Amino acid sequence: MAIWQVWAGGLLAVLVLMTVIWAISVVRHDASLVDRVWGPAFVLSAFVYALLGDGAGPRTALVLVLVTVWGLRLGLHITRRNWGKGEDPRYRAMRERRPDSFAVTSLYRVFWLQAGLAWTISLPLLAALHRPTPERLTWVDGLGVVVWLVGFVFEAGGDLQLSRFLADPKNRGKVMDRGLWRYTRHPNYFGDTTVWWGLFLIALATGAWWAAIGSAVMTFFIVQVSGVALTDAGMAKSGSKREGYDEYVRRTNAFIPGPRKD
């Protein structure tokens, strides 16, 4: 099967998934359900690419394991974090601006939009799984796994540390500046992008340099749109600013980990 056909199969699968979740969100009046399936959407794409691709081998197994661990952990983390809290304020604001049409327009403005983004970002998965040649793993694959591991530790570790910090009533109103958060204000976002550059390196082992587009799109959106920039803007508001936040910003790298500026 041609690579564009495999890629189209991934798009169809993700669109079906997002449409089903949209229907559930209409019943529950909660468009933020889309965030819970963001990670699992990549798992679905990966398995579709593997099934429609031209072969199986150690690289196929490796990529499926890596993306499944990453995607399911992220989905479970967001589900636990948002459980019982109602609709995310971002989507609630969109609903309030168009109360009569949001149930319908959210299908393409939220769910299909994220499906399209996931489809584009999944290019490293497509490259690694469509035709996994050379069949044997190379040192580039090994480097990709190392980079993926670094990213996963930062993302999963950062999420875990923040969850524990916020669960302690003693920390209410304080800034999380411990553990990985001591070296970057966004270890989870740094980790997420690093995971995808690790997956790109595995794709690069097959010669697919063009797969960098997917990792670059993920990095752009995390840094400039929905991750770092959005979180920083929310934290900087006077009404939500935590004790010591300005000092934390001054001393701590925004994205790439580094020593504190004491």
Task: Write out the DSSP string of 130-143.
Answer: HS--SSS--HHHHH
Residue 23, classed as helix, strand or coil, is helix
> Which of 30-34, 75-79, 162-166, 244-248 bottoms out in mean pLDDT, i.e. has the lowest?
244-248
The answer to whether the beta carbons of residues 54 and 128 sit under 8 Å apart is no
Over residues 114-120, mean pLDDT:
97
Using pLDDT thresholds of 50, 70 and 90, give the confidence band for residue 229.
confident
pTM, full prediction: 0.93
Determine the average pLDDT of the residues in 185-197.
Answer: 97
Residue 262 has pLDDT above 80, yes or no: no
Per-residue pLDDT averaged across 79-108, rounded?
Answer: 92
Mean pLDDT of the chain: 93
Angle at 184 between CA 113 and CA 244, to 5 degrees: 105
Phi/psi at 243 (nearest 5 deg)? -60, 125
Sequence-separated (6 or more) residues with CB below 8 Å from residue 146: 198
218 or 260: which leads in pLDDT:
218
Better pLDDT: 240 or 80: 80
Half-sphere exposure of 131 (CA within 13 A, CB side): 9
Name which of 192, 196, 52 is nearest 132 in CA terms.
52
- Tokens representing residue 211 in the block: 């797969």
Tokens 């939009």, located at residue: 113
Contacts of 218 (CB under 8 A, 6+ apart): 121, 192, 193, 196
> Is residue 238 scored above 70 in pLDDT?
no
What does the pLDDT read at residue 154?
98
